[in-house]
Amino acid sequence: MKAAVIVLCSVALPALADPVVPTFTDETATSGLSTVYEGEWEYMVGGGVASFDCSGDGFPELFLSGGAGPSALYLNRSAVGGELTFEKTDAITLDAVLGAYPLDIDSDGLMDLVVLRQGPNLLMRGLGDCKFEDATETWGFDGGEAWSTAFAAIWEKGQDWPTIAIGNYIDRAAEDFPWGSCTDNWLHRPESGPDGRRFAPPVPLTPSFCALSMLFTDWNRSGQWALRVSNDREYYKGGQEQLWHLDPGQPPRLYTEAEGWKRLRIWGMGIAAADVNRDGYQDYFLTSMADNKLQFLKDPASGKPDYADLAFKSGVTAHRPYTGDDLRPSTAWHPQFADVNNDGWLDIFVAKGNVAKMPDFAERDPNNLLLGTADGPFVEAGDRAGVASMGIGRGAQVVDLNLDGMLDIVVVNRWTPAEVWRQTGESTGNWVQVRLAQDGTNRDAIGALVEIRRGEAIERHEIASGGGHVSGSVGWLHFGLGEATGAEMRVIWPDGSADPWLTLPVGSFQILRPGKPPEIWVPG
């Protein structure tokens, strides 16, 4: 089964060297969001938000983790282009929740939710109309008893059921918990049972080093996905960033230094992937404490996963607060690539916050909004855009919550309510949003590749389930187009079939299905 590919072409015009700064309005107080991520040291990591549509109206709902307090699912009651409004439900009021990722596990067209917890993880099966049931046992999923802080999922070749990777943090059974050894991450592959598809017993990903983020990626464009793992904390015991081979039907195995994988030791918090330099290969932004990385593949022709860090050259080290008087090192958590100002250049949002009150790190640590430019370096605009919160940030989502074509931002904070900002300024460029939909397995085409032609260059994106910091999203795929007057797309689906190129109008929502013309969708 080959990965799906979308090719999007636009009539690109030169962008301005200085990016237009978007305007955000803090609508936390009126949004209806009230969940607080509570807890002491057991919840020092985690604190995620998931966005997905479970009501069927196209607007993304929000699921907020509560840590030691209750989690909550919020129905999106926003009007198109209007103020952000949510209604709290009692659909999933679980405790000990660290984060969550939406995933249609059984491919029934109803979104399910993978819930990461302190203790047994849960698979919540979607029943429609934003109702859920616990299907963990039914689907043979071993939820474990760990402190689970990372997730990724992919449909492996020939499978009609996903493979799920779970990253676990510190061993909760250790005598010196919470300062004991890291515990094994798990790979859950599918198997056939008497009642149909389910998950096989998990395979330990040994060695494991306190994972805080995971992402399946086709790093070398071979058609074979690998698993990236970003790790925290246990480096005095040999830990490092990891890349795992995931060959069909074979046990997972680590890439080695002999294969080109270089030892890298950071306080890894989150992963985001995108084709920043438009060479057709994924680049990776890795958050850490005072040392964020932006990795580019050195020599794709070599076939080796050997990366150069160009964070400093690109202006995205974001190693200390850029506003305020606290200039101690920063602590970065959830990273996300998105074209926030619709100018056709990728931006980076980073949620930030001290672990608690670590004296060597900034206590007033604002979120970053790093705007991409035509000349390469990113420009910090968090304070000018209005999103430089001093809350103790953790997980986040950059998503169009009111379906007006402009991206909004929601951030989960530790000990204070989640914050949400609506983009309220004039859109600085055109955009298009698409959803992939296919019958049978993998309804949302996880593993799709999106290629965007920007003049002579081609920008390539993987549509993945995972990454960030305990925060996942399934929904509309948003592409800023700048001054382009049209967008041309092609989709290559997971079975390898390729649709002809399509010309899509800007400012529209389009549903794409294999072998069929695009379906325009209008919010409301």
Asked if 163 and 153 count as a contact pair (C-beta separation under 8 A), the reply is yes
Token code pair at residue 465: 């389930």
Whole-model pTM? 0.95
pLDDT digits (tens, 9 = 90+) for 97-144: 999 999 999 999 999 999 999 999 999 999 999 999 999 999 999 999
Neighbours of 312 (CB within 10 A): 12
Where is 31: in which H helix or E strand? helix 28-31
pLDDT digits (tens, 9 = 90+) for 497-523: 888 888 889 999 999 998 999 999 999
For the beta sheet containing 131-134, the strands, ordered from the edge strand earlier in sequence to the opposite edge, are 97-103, 112-117, 122-128, 131-134
- What does the pLDDT average to over 431-459? 91
d(CA 170, CA 186): 14
pLDDT digits (tens, 9 = 90+) for 205-245: 999 999 999 999 999 999 999 999 999 977 667 889 999 99
pLDDT digits (tens, 9 = 90+) for 446-489: 988 888 888 888 888 898 999 999 999 999 999 999 999 988 87
The CB-side HSE value for 210 (13 A sphere, CA atoms) comes to 24
- What does the pLDDT average to over 413-440? 94
pLDDT digits (tens, 9 = 90+) for 278-289: 999 999 999 999
Where is 7: in which H helix or E strand? strand 5-10
pLDDT of 1 strictly over 50: no
Q: What is the pLDDT of residue 191?
A: 93
Measured between its terminal Cα atoms, the distance across the chain in Å is: 36
d(CA 286, CA 293): 5
The CB-side HSE value for 195 (13 A sphere, CA atoms) comes to 7
User: Considering only CA atoms, which of 68, 83, 2 is closest in space to residue 36?
Assistant: 68
